[in-house]
């Protein structure tokens, strides 16, 4: 039932947002209905499908299973904060490049899960990517192009990190 509202202060995509919420308000509803950030989707409300995955202090969480009050004081990144059209995050670029989405509904959550996966394991094998997608469901793609998209992103991220390594490697070879 309705409870007394409490204040939360959550940094969402770099902007501090304060609001009064019911203690039972789910983070995903705070994002979608409260802030109008509708890129994060609800596919099951029972934390199986992963469509609602966001980053909470850099870690992938299912925002249908986190209360807004639990995110008080935390930093949340949603798909809207991942990258912009003129500066796509490598994971977004990979999904576009490799046809990693069809209907696009699970995509924001899958991309956020992929960001967390690559942070943990920057150079995953195909098998590790497939294992790493355990927490998300996609009904359209058959996953193969999601795997390719994440492989593409891993390469991009590696080459972004490369220049300094290249210098070191060149020094070593010379």
Instruction: Determine if 126 is a binding residue for other proteins (CB under 8 A).
Output: yes
Instruction: Determine if 107 is a binding residue for other proteins (CB under 8 A).
Output: yes
- Positive or negative torsion for Cα 91, 65, 49, 108: negative
Decide: residue 45, CB within 10 A, 0-12 exposed, 13-18 middle, 19+ buried: middle
Q: CB neighbours of 1 closer than 8 A, spacing ≥ 6?
A: none
DSSP annotation of 135 = T
Tell me the longest C-alpha to C-alpha distance in the chain.
71
Instruction: Determine if 137 is a binding residue for other proteins (CB under 8 A).
Output: yes
**Of 62-101, which residues contact other proteins (CB under 8 A)?**
78-80, 82-85, 88, 92, 95-97, 99, 101
Question: Which of 140, 84, 68 minimizes the C-alpha distance to 110?
Answer: 140
- Total residues contacting other proteins by CB under 8 A comes to 63
**Of 12-71, which residues contact other proteins (CB under 8 A)?**
22, 24-25, 29, 32-33, 36-46, 48-49, 51
Q: Catalog residues that contact other proteins under the rule CB under 8 A.
A: 1-2, 22, 24-25, 29, 32-33, 36-46, 48-49, 51, 78-80, 82-85, 88, 92, 95-97, 99, 101-108, 111, 126-127, 129-131, 133-134, 136-147
């Amino acid at each position: 039932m309705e409870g007394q509202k409490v204040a939360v202060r959550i940094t969402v995509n770099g902007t501090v947002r304060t609001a009064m919420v019911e203690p039972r308000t789910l983070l995903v509803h705070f994002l979608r209905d409260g802030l109008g950030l509708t890129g994060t989707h609800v596919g099951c409300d029972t934390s199986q499908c992963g469509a609602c995955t966001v980053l909470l202090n850099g870690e992938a969480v299912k925002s249908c299973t986190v209360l807004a009050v639990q995110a008080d004081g935390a930093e949340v990144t949603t798909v809207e904060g991942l990258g912009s059209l003129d500066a796509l995050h490598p994971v977004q670029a990979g999904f576009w490049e490799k046809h990693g989405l069809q209907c696009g509904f699970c995509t924001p959550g899958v991309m956020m899960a992929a960001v967390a996966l690559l942070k943990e394991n920057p150079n995953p094998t195909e098998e590790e990517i497939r294992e790493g997608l355990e927490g998300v469901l996609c009904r359209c793609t058959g996953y193969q192009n999601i795997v390719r998209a994440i492989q593409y992103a891993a390469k991009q991220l590696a080459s972004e990190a490369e220049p300094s390594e290249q210098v070191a490697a060149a020094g070593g070879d010379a």
